[in-house]
Chain A
Amino acid sequence: MDEKFAAIGEAMPRLLDGLVVTIELTIFGAIAAFILAVILGLAAASPAKGFRIPARVVIEFFRGTSLVVQVFWLFFVLPLLGIDLHPMLVGVMALGLNYGAYSAEVVRGSIQAVPTGQWEATTALSLGPIQRMRRIIFPQAWALMIPSLSSLLVHLMKGTAIVGFITLADLTYQLEQVKRTAGTLFTYGVVGILSYFVFALVLMYFMNALEHQAKHKLGQGKSLWRILSPAPPASTPAGGAS
């Protein structure tokens, strides 16, 4: 057992390098996905066909093709067309497009879930469409979309593991290297699982904090200090017998 720890200890710098790549992919991929999701989600929720139909086509296309195929397409097919992208950019783009398309549905659904009375009140006050979205509807939809977005974020983080295929040395790639000296079981069964799990936990806590803050702004839920306490944040009593 000792020599396994020693092997991991020795490999620590490269594991940390891998972790940094995984974190970078997650953060930049999530930012790209979020920007795309807001643009596509707003367009898909629009009453204007000129926005809605193109948005639907893009959303369905990127939801309907696998992430691996999208990564390969960007990495191997684009160069044939004379476009050579850095592997990191390819990874971020693929994650952004794929999860952006999924998240766009969440954004659209949340916007449409804001009660009709809120939309009508903005009409009665003569707010224009941009003010209405920016100042009234989106802030309320934001609180509704966070739970779904946070599970998509964890999916995205786990999805970063496929970029090893395109020469990026992320955490999974480095684990594969360490496996030779530390053994498969220990490398993947303990170190790999734990690292991803802890990262996912951090992301979940971050998103829970966002959700609390968003709900607090709508006058729901308690003050912000609860987010920092270790107790699991109280979920909304949506369904099920309690």
Chain B
Amino acid sequence: MIDFRDVEKAFGDNVVLHDLNFSVQKGDRVTLIGPSGSGKTTILRLVMTLEELTGGYIFVGGEPLTHEERGGKRVPVSKRNQKRIRQRIGMVFQQFNLFPNMTVVENIIEAPVHVLGQSKREATLKAKELLERVGLSDKAGAHPTSLSGGQQQRVAIARALAMDPEILLLDEVTSALDPEIVGDVLGILRNIAETTDITMLIVTHEMQFARDVSNRVLMFDGGKIVEEASPSVMFSDPKHQRTKDFLHAVLGDGEDTIGTR
């Protein structure tokens, strides 16, 4: 579904990702873990085309996303192709990024109506369904600013799902939330993971969530993958010293208890 081939990303002289090669299969739930600055958020931003790829290629469903090789040269793909491929990808942000000049339901139907060309009625119907799914059916007419952080993030999830993405990118979606509502948002995502076959790429510090939802965990450090394993192996028996240190720092003494739910 997503192939990273020799991916390199540099901000000026600062190389954030180097020689990155990995593939995500359709329906995979891949969690990227690692210390901050290890390049995991950058990977999501590259897939969403929020950052310019400085080297290598990313393929989505076999098609080049930003650059392709033609006649032995690396050339950018056309804007039209990029837009077409990008429509298959959705993203939920740490800071929600709802549009404050629109109500909740307007936020959700904006892209389905103006990008996919759905009728307003059709899109609104679907938006109501999605709002019910995230437990906010009574907030359709509300302004985003009148909602709590947790509610805003649930609307943002509904907004991303309204585009029927094949790939969903979740970028630290609970990091800006109060601890007591993190569970609500994760519960909704867990439900989506269980009931759909959307391919997910997840950056999170919630190791329990990573364990519950993902089938693969990649440990990043210094812009490279240092270890890859299934969550049960990664969290109970990490091989690499860097992973051990990181997990110990994140989980503290609770390291042994993870996964006992």
**Contact count band on B:** 20 to 34
| A121 pairs with B145, CB closer than 8 A | no
Instruction: Tell me whether A3 is interfacial, beta carbon within 8 Å.
Output: no
Interface positions of A from 98 to 147, Cβ below 8 Å from B: 117-118, 120-121, 123-128, 131, 135-136, 139-140
A139 to B95 Cα, complex, angstroms:
20
Interface positions of B from 78 to 98, Cβ below 8 Å from A: 83, 86-87, 89-91, 93, 95, 97-98
| A125 pairs with B93, CB closer than 8 A | no
Residue of B nearest to A218 (CB): B100
With contacts A126-B163, A219-B144, A219-B146 taken as known, whether A121 is within 8 angstroms of B101 at the C-beta atoms is no
Instruction: Tell me whether A220 is interfacial, beta carbon within 8 Å.
Output: yes
| B99 pairs with A219, CB closer than 8 A | no
Instruction: Tell me whether A217 is interfacial, beta carbon within 8 Å.
Output: yes
With contacts A219-B143, A219-B145 taken as known, whether A125 is within 8 angstroms of B50 at the C-beta atoms is no
| B97 pairs with A118, CB closer than 8 A | yes
User: What is the CB-to-nearest-CB distance from B87 to chain A, in angstroms, rounded to a whole number?
Assistant: 5
| Contact partners of A117 in chain B: CB under 8 A | 93, 95, 97
A220 to B101 Cα, complex, angstroms:
10
| A126 pairs with B144, CB closer than 8 A | no
A117 to B87 Cα, complex, angstroms:
18
| B93 pairs with A126, CB closer than 8 A | no
| B50 pairs with A123, CB closer than 8 A | yes
User: What is the CB-to-nearest-CB distance from A184 to chain B, in angstroms, rounded to a whole number?
Assistant: 51
| B111 pairs with A125, CB closer than 8 A | yes
Contact of A120 (CB < 8 Å), options: B83, B93, B143, B144: B93
Instruction: Tell me whether B49 is interfacial, beta carbon within 8 Å.
Output: yes
| Contact partners of B193 in chain A: CB under 8 A | none
Interface positions of B from 172 to 226, Cβ below 8 Å from A: none
Number of A interface residues in the complex (CB < 8 A): 19
| A126 pairs with B115, CB closer than 8 A | yes
User: What is the CB-to-nearest-CB distance from A129 to chain B, in angstroms, rounded to a whole number?
Assistant: 10
| A127 pairs with B50, CB closer than 8 A | no
| B49 pairs with A123, CB closer than 8 A | yes
| A218 pairs with B145, CB closer than 8 A | yes
| B101 pairs with A120, CB closer than 8 A | no
| Contact partners of A127 in chain B: CB under 8 A | 110-111, 114-115
Residue of B nearest to A125 (CB): B111
With contacts A117-B93, A118-B97, A220-B145 taken as known, whether A126 is within 8 angstroms of B111 at the C-beta atoms is yes
Interface-centre pick from B99, B143, B163 (highest chain A CB count, 10 A)? B99
| Contact partners of B89 in chain A: CB under 8 A | 124
Residue of B nearest to A124 (CB): B91
User: What is the CB-to-nearest-CB distance from A213 to chain B, in angstroms, rounded to a whole number?
Assistant: 12
Instruction: Tell me whether B20 is interfacial, beta carbon within 8 Å.
Output: no
A220 to B50 Cα, complex, angstroms:
29
| Contact partners of A126 in chain B: CB under 8 A | 83, 86-87, 111, 115, 163
A131 to B159 Cα, complex, angstroms:
17
| Contact partners of B87 in chain A: CB under 8 A | 126
Instruction: Tell me whether B30 is interfacial, beta carbon within 8 Å.
Output: no
Contact of B101 (CB < 8 Å), options: A123, A125, A218: A218
3 A-B pairs with least C-beta separation: A219-B145, A219-B143, A125-B111
Report B's interface with A, CB cutoff 8 A: 48-50, 83, 86-87, 89-91, 93, 95, 97-101, 110-111, 114-115, 143-146, 159-160, 163
Report A's interface with B, CB cutoff 8 A: 117-118, 120-121, 123-128, 131, 135-136, 139-140, 217-220
5 contacts between A and B (CB under 8 A): A125-B111, A125-B159, A131-B115, A136-B110, A220-B145
Contacts A127-B114, A139-B101, A218-B101 known; 14 new A-B pairs at CB < 8 A:
A117-B97, A121-B98, A123-B49, A124-B90, A124-B93, A125-B159, A125-B163, A126-B115, A127-B110, A131-B115, A135-B114, A219-B100, A219-B143, A220-B100
